[in-house]
Amino acid sequence: MPNRLAHETSPYLLQHADNPVDWWPWSAEAFEEARRTGKPVLLSVGYSSCHWCHVMAHESFEDQETADYLNAHFVGVKVDREERPDVDAVYMEAVQAATGQGGWPMTVFLTPDAEPFYFGTYFPPEPRHGSPSFRQVLEGVHSAWTDRRGEVDEVAGKIVRDLVGREIGFGDAQVPGEGELAQALLGLTRDYDATHGGFGGAPKFPPSMAVEFLLRHHARTGAEGALQMAADTCERMARGGIYDQLGGGFARYSVDREWVVPHFEKMLYDNALLCRVYAHLWRATGSDLARRVALETADFMVRELRTNEGGFASAFDADSDDGTGKHVEGAYYVWTPRQLREVLGEQDAELAADHFGVTEEGTFEEGASVLQLPQNEGVFEADRIASVKARLKAARDGRPAPGRDDKIVAAWNGLAIAALAETGAYFDRPDLVDAALGAADLLVRLHLDEHARPARTSMDGRVGAHAGVLEDYADVAEGFLALASVTGEGVWLEFAGFLLDHVLVRFTDEETGALYDTAADAEKLIRRPQDPTDNATPSGWSAAAGALLSYAAQTGSEPHRRAAERALGVVKALGPRAPRFIGWGLATAEAQLDGPREVAVVGPADDPATRELHRIALLATAPGAVVAVGAADSDELPLLADRSLIGGEPTAYVCRNFTCGAPTADADRLRAALSR
């Protein structure tokens, strides 16, 4: 019989609806049940595409004996971290503080007042490698709860006091200047892997936000080293196994420093961020590789992640059926020489093995290889390689596919909207812009309430119950601002303004300008989460600073500009010390130092000269430049107000802080103005 999770919208929670564990969703009712029964709470946090979450579920939560013990002595609460990032953030901070590490599944034991007192991640079904079994953990916690309750309460109280005392006070510092950004570049240079690209060792994550900073820094200063690190990192990733050489798109991370073997889950947010980065790299360098990867990644998102409602699903699992009924990580993606021969025949199989690095020994497990792209790809015949790729892709399409998490997350769709809108505009792909518009329309129709407050998630056209967090407001605003620049439609700027007004009023500390991840009127947790550092996505803090700055440049709004600059104080404090973990904040600081530029293009929409000036403006590498396009003296966008044609010709104005240079109808002069 299904448990309470059967009524949820989260695919992760629904995966546990048939567990014998009597799960509750995160709710006041769950903690009231714990108080009524005098039991502690077992909080289990994970997400749909998490490999070890599936493993622990199969080993422990599907086991009747374990479930019976858990149900007798605990109130089990299951949380999808992607649906409730606030809950995840608060308790992950506690886990990391107590153990020095974190991860998912996250296992935390709480008092009925939601105070944590014992922590862990994955626990095996039997003792292993010095780790106790999950049953031993349950028995130990139950014993402590019943026999040493005073000690448990004392520990829980101390942990909560420590968490509450971790307020971040950098919001009102000055904006970072040349010195801090130069120090950040030096810090990235020290961490740079000159042999394989990227930063640090294994596991290695795609540094999309740091690369965006490097591209903007090069555009503003001409620092060739910054561009070289960005370009080399992007090339190494694109040639490695972390990139899907047949279907496009990136896996979550590489388990090695060479980008060879990925953790095979594919996330919407990674692909949205990387699609945009590769498009920006092409904009800066004209790289054919960057162009191909940007377009293939955009096509992957539209082809495989777009839902029937027009939004974009969250992720694909790492695991899939290997053809024997057993779920194996990477089974969908890897190849052996024998499999190549079965699909291609002897001669083309040999070519494919050479081209993609498939060996008898294998680069993954059990003699299988992850496809890679060699440096000497030019020696292979392009037409023949295209045929090989098409046949391998068709054969792979016949394999059991990884599961897809169809949950639509507002923030991640905002990132996808920005990436698809810009990529579509750069490469004359109106279908990609249309896909961005479709997702934006879904967010407005389904996710935004009558006060323009976004719900965090939806699925199958049914909006989730949980309120959006700061990153939802900021990333959706970022997507809408990109749409306004690409389409010239003022409605998207208007919607961005609604969202960012909420940021000013409900997420910002009035005294310091510091930002919180949850609104002032949101559900109260043991601590109001607040984290300015980038992780897999831009932090809500950094994303809000970037969107506020862009909106201020589009509208001239001083309150939004001031809020962005106050938020950038944290970048001044953290950027020189930890640049890898605040890349989006550094990228926003580059835009602030550059202005950012404000470009108004006025002229008839159907005039080729208008379209040429608009395209030149969009392709400008000036950090964070905003663009408005429309008819002369239009009130559609504030940047167009009082702008007239020069000599009756479509005209461009380049401004900073609404102070403009001489208008021009000449394409070359516009390019020059945007490159200075």
pLDDT of residue 378: 57
Among 75, 67, 93, 89, CA closest to 35:
75
pLDDT of residue 383: 87
- Structure confidence by residue, pLDDT tens digits, 573-632: 999 999 999 999 999 999 999 999 999 999 999 999 999 999 999 999 999 999 999 998
Among 403, 413, 455, 405, CA closest to 311:
413
Please provide residue 645's backbone torsions phi and psi, each rounded to the nearest 5 degrees: -75, 145
pLDDT of residue 633: 80
Average pLDDT estimate for 530-535:
93
- Structure confidence by residue, pLDDT tens digits, 65-108: 999 999 999 999 999 999 999 999 999 988 887 777 788 999 99
- Structure confidence by residue, pLDDT tens digits, 273-308: 999 999 999 999 999 999 999 999 999 999 999 999
pLDDT band at residue 324, thresholds of 50, 70 and 90? Answer: confident
Average pLDDT, the chain: 94
Question: Is 0.85 topped by the overall pTM?
Answer: yes
Is the distance from CB of 423 to CB of 292 less than 8 angstroms?
no
Please give the distance of CA 616 from its chain centroid, rounded to a whole number. 28
**SS3 category, 441:** helix
Percent helix, percent strand, percent coil in the chain, to nearest 5: 50, 15, 35
pLDDT of residue 98: 75
H/E run at residue 410: helix 410-426
- Structure confidence by residue, pLDDT tens digits, 230-280: 999 999 999 999 999 999 999 999 999 999 999 999 999 999 999 999 999
Among 625, 482, 511, CA closest to 167:
511
Burial of 329 (C-beta count, 10 Å sphere; 0-12/13-18/19+): buried
pLDDT > 90 fraction of the chain, expressed in percent and rounded: 86
- Structure confidence by residue, pLDDT tens digits, 427-437: 999 999 999 99
pLDDT of residue 169: 64
Residue 651 has pLDDT above 60, yes or no: yes
**SS3 category, 18:** coil
pLDDT of residue 1: 65
CB proximity list for 294: less than 8 A, separation 6 or greater: 275, 276, 278, 279, 281, 282, 423, 426, 427
Residue 171 has pLDDT above 70, yes or no: no
Give whole-number Cα distances, 497 to 99, 476, 493, in Å.
41, 11, 6
Is the distance from CB of 632 to CB of 644 less than 8 angstroms?
yes
Residue 500 has pLDDT above 80, yes or no: yes
Please provide residue 328's backbone torsions phi and psi, each rounded to the nearest 5 degrees: -130, 140
- Calpha distance 109→655 (Å, rounded): 56
Amino acid at 269: Y
- Structure confidence by residue, pLDDT tens digits, 334-386: 999 999 999 999 999 999 999 999 999 999 998 999 999 976 665 668 889 99
pLDDT band at residue 172, thresholds of 50, 70 and 90? Answer: low
Residue 170 has pLDDT above 80, yes or no: no
- Structure confidence by residue, pLDDT tens digits, 5-55: 998 989 999 999 999 999 999 999 999 999 999 999 999 999 988 888 989
